[in-house]
Structure 1
Amino acid sequence: MSESSKIKVGISVGDPNGIGFEIILKTFQEKNLFKKFIPIAFAHPQNFFEESEKYKLDTNILEVKNIGDIQENFLNVIDIWDNPFPINYGKDELTAGNFAFSSLEAATTALIKNKIDVLVTAPINKKNIQSKRFQFKGHTDYLDKEINGESLMFMISDQIKLALVTDHIPLAKVNEFATKNTIIKKIKILEHSLKSDFNISEPKIAILGINPHAGDYGVIGEEEETFLRPLVKAQFDKGIRIDGPFPADGFFGSQSYQKFDAILAIYHDQGLIPFKTLSFGEGVNFTAGLDRVRTSPDHGTAYDIAGQGKANHNSFKKALHAAGEIFLNRKKFNDAVNQN
């Protein structure tokens, strides 16, 4: 792959007191990745050099002043802070949150301006990153505000693809947010993503129920009968290959998820518990529905092992590859649409 066709990957480093630096450095020890990607991290170069030395890694690191100076075959690092961050492994600090946001903001700006092709984000601490400039429950909500489109939290792995109607909201507010209009929007975003981002021409989608046992025909709850089941039928009649609502426990227990290209869960734990049980450490969080591509690993800051050299970088590497594949699939899809 020529340099011009290599995918420019912007990387936000996440909470510096977590495992972000470590998983990024470990990933790009694999020199074959440079055949496809030109990685660009937004941080302080000295932190990368010091962390690489600490873990005895041989990652090729290059300090650059701006994106115009990047080179292939290196992990390019653009300095966004005046001084290196004083890492305090495993500690929840406001300064670490400020650093994480600076990295995310710089990378997102580069993505919007087409200076990079895709964005891969290392884990943040959702508490210490909060500030006047970041009042969001996570990456997804922030990117939804900054980038064109309407976001959908979409977890993907080799075993399963699973999206959420609602994501980071309290359980007590699920019914308030999981309205008929919202569910219809999420179904349409999911179907389009499966076609454009994953090259599935006629995707099959399953939707889970809201109540235990999907309401047991009104015995446990009425939402499935009053609006969810009719909603699903209406979307099916319009040409979307969707089935359900299914009781979540039996659906995963019987491995029925294997019969579908993607599952739409109503709320966070309903979907993320089975997803992470099946795929933890190998899964990817993809923000579908936006006109730019962003992925991240399926885990958090891992303060408990930060600085110990124990972090597994598989999920970050999976996120890197997923971002590249989605970017190329979407380009191919859009080119075909424009030709028609």
Structure 2
Amino acid sequence: MQEDKKIKVGISIGDLNGIGCEVVLKTFEDNRMLDFCTPVIFASNKTISFQKKELNININYNGVPDADKAVDNKINVVNVWKEIPKTQFGTPTEESGKYALKSLQAATKALKEDKIDVLVTAPINKNNIQSDEFNFPGHTDYLAKELGGNSLMFMVTSTLKVGLLTDHIAVKDVAKAITPKLVKEKIATIEHSLKADFAIQKPKIALLGINPHSGDNGVIGKEDDTVLKPTITELKNQGKMVFGPYSADSFFGSDAYSNFDAILAAYHDQGLIPFKTLSFGKGVNYTAGLQKVRTSPDHGTAYEIAGKGKADHSSFKEAVFTALKIFKNRQEYAELTQNPLKKQRLKRKE
């Protein structure tokens, strides 16, 4: 891609009855955003017109038949559908799930065909989007299937990065899902992402324990001793900077996390509760390990405030900027790996 060409940011609109459209439109209501990228929203002119009128958001947009027709310095809307979906702010419906999927499918297709450069997804409802075409616990698993790679749910800010060993599975299934093979795969993914996506040359990674107090030497569970500790030792012997397992209850409160470039949590709430407590509104959900770049805000559909104009778009805006940064970092990393002399100069500077 030519340096002077703006990065095309594809946007799936999420659940129309939630705050998805609102945070998208508020983000690009600031015309300065068009200096950084070319937004391409997958919905319809009529849908965007209805939403901006209902939410009193003052933007102009350019309707296009396809993402490759998007125009720089304009907000582009790809007409994925012609009809006008019924909108019921605050209420998840079968119809709102149906159109969330239509938008996501169209945006994903455009990403696979290189008609857009990155994808930023507005929040979906994981229940009403389910269908014969979407039988996944969320965006991450769907995109892993569509885009290929070893996906990792990676919650990121400039100062805090938390990945998950297991994401959308029941707590009762966590311990048996964590195997040495899974730990090695996730560590490999998070390490590569830190290097290629965040330009961290020698990443230092902390692994949180599975059980309270990391099992207390087997008193509260044996998985930390039998699965995590031997695997961490093996990874260290391979030269990887992986440490742990650390007791999760004190790890964030004691500020221990600040000593690491990333933290790998054993399960969803173990990682996301402290992340959102420390970073809510500034955090970004990034799907690491894929062949393409996808980010999203760190919140859900927020039906309770949908249609009221109260939604904070900060996290969606951060998701856009993070996608742009990762896309550029990947280009630079690819150049470094293909240019041994440049890579050697960089190492001498470390």
**What is residue 10 of structure 2 aligned with on the other side?**
10
Residue number in structure 2 paired with 1:307: 307
Equivalent in the alignment of 2:27 = 27
1:51 partnered with 2:35: no
Q: Does the aligned pair in 2 maintain the 1:3–1:72 contact within 8 Å? A: no
Amino acid at match of 1:280: F
Letter paired with 2:75: L
Deviates more, 1:312-321 or 1:221-230: 221-230
SS of equivalent residue, structure 2 residue 29? coil
Is there any run of 5+ residues in structure 1 with no aligned partner, and where?
Answer: none
How far apart in 2 are the matches of 1:230 and 1:150?
Answer: 22
**Which residue is equivalent to 2:328?**
328
Contact 1:159-1:278 at 8 Å conserved across structures: no
The aligned length equals 339
CA distance in 1 between partners of 2:48 and 2:77 (Å): 8
3-state SS of paired residue (1:10): strand
- C-alpha distance in 1, partners of 2:161/2:305? 28
1:288 Cα deviation after fit: 0.2
Name the counterpart of 2:138: 138
Structure 1, residues 14-68: CA drift from partner, whole Å, max 9, x if none?
A: 0000011111100001111111100001101112122222333222211111123
Report how far residue 217 of structure 1 moved.
1.4
SS in 2 for 1:128: coil
Residue 318 of structure 1 corresponds to which residue in structure 2? 318
Partner of residue 184, structure 2: 184
The change in CA–CA distance for 1:95 and 1:3 in structure 2 (over 3 A counts) is farther
Residue 114 of structure 2: aligned partner = 114
Q: Is the 8 A contact 2:175 2:223 kept in 1?
A: no
Per-residue CA deviations over 1:155-177 (Å, capped at 9, x if unaligned) read 00134100000000000111221
Amino acid at match of 1:97: G
Moved more, 262-271 or 79-88: 79-88
Residue 121 of structure 2 aligns with an amino acid whose one-letter code is T
Which residue number in structure 1 is paired with residue 212 of structure 2?
212
**CA distance in structure 2 between the aligned counterparts of 1:51 and 1:82, rounded to whole angstroms:** 15
SS in 2 for 1:243: strand
* Structure 1 counterpart of 2:260, one-letter code: F
State the partner residue of 1:254. 254
Segment drifting more, 41-50 vs 243-252: 41-50
1:124 equivalent in structure 2: 124
Matched, 1:280 2:280: yes
| 2:266 is the counterpart of 1:266 | yes
SS in structure 2 opposite 1:5? coil
Residues 159, 279 of structure 1: 8 Å contact kept: no
Q: Is the 8 A contact 2:214 2:247 kept in 1?
A: yes
Structure 2, gaps ≥5 residues long? 341-350
Distance in structure 2 (CA, Å) of the matches to 1:184 and 1:319: 28
Distance 1:58 1:308 in 2: 15
Measured in 1, the distance between the counterparts of 2:26 and 2:150 equals 33
Q: Residue type matched to 2:299 in 1? A: H
8 Å contact kept, 1:155–1:285: yes
Aligned-pair identity in percent equals 51
In the TM superposition, what is the alpha-carbon distance from 1:336 to its structure 2 partner? Answer: 1.3
Distance 1:3 1:290 in 2: 23
Amino acid at match of 1:194: L
Which residue identity is paired with 1:223?
Answer: E
Work out whether 1:78 is the aligned partner of 2:78. Answer: yes
After superposition, the C-alpha distances for 1:233-287 in whole angstroms (9 at most, x for unaligned) are 1101111111100000111121100110000001001101100111111110000
Deviation readout 1:207-244 (Å, 9 max, x if unpaired): 00010000111221111112211111110111111110
Q: Which one-letter code corresponds to 1:15 in the other structure?
A: D
User: Which amino acid in structure 2 is aligned with residue 147 of structure 1?
Assistant: L
Cα distance in structure 1, aligned partners of 2:80 and 2:113: 17
1:220 is paired with a residue whose SS is: coil
* 8 A contact 2:229–2:244 mirrored in 1: yes
Kindly indicate whether the alpha-carbon contact (under 8 Å) linking 2:168 and 2:268 is maintained by their aligned counterparts in 1: yes
- State the TM-score, normalized to the length of structure 1: 0.97
Taking the TM superposition and a 5 Å limit, the aligned residue runs for 1:152-171 are 152-171=152-171
Q: Out of 39-48 and 312-321, give the one that drifted further.
A: 39-48
Aligned to 2:347: none
CA distance in 1, matches of 2:80, 2:272: 34
Cα displacement (A) at 1:4:
4.8
Structure 2 distance, partners of 1:155, 1:336, is 26
Q: State the 4+ residue runs in structure 1 displaced beyond 4 angstroms.
A: none
For structure 1, which segment, 49-58 or 15-24, has the greater mean C-alpha deviation from structure 2 after superposition? Answer: 49-58
Question: C-alpha distance in 2, partners of 1:321/1:219?
Answer: 45
Contact map agreement 1:305 1:311 (CA 8 A) in 2 = yes
Question: Greater shift after overlay, 49-58 or 17-26?
Answer: 49-58
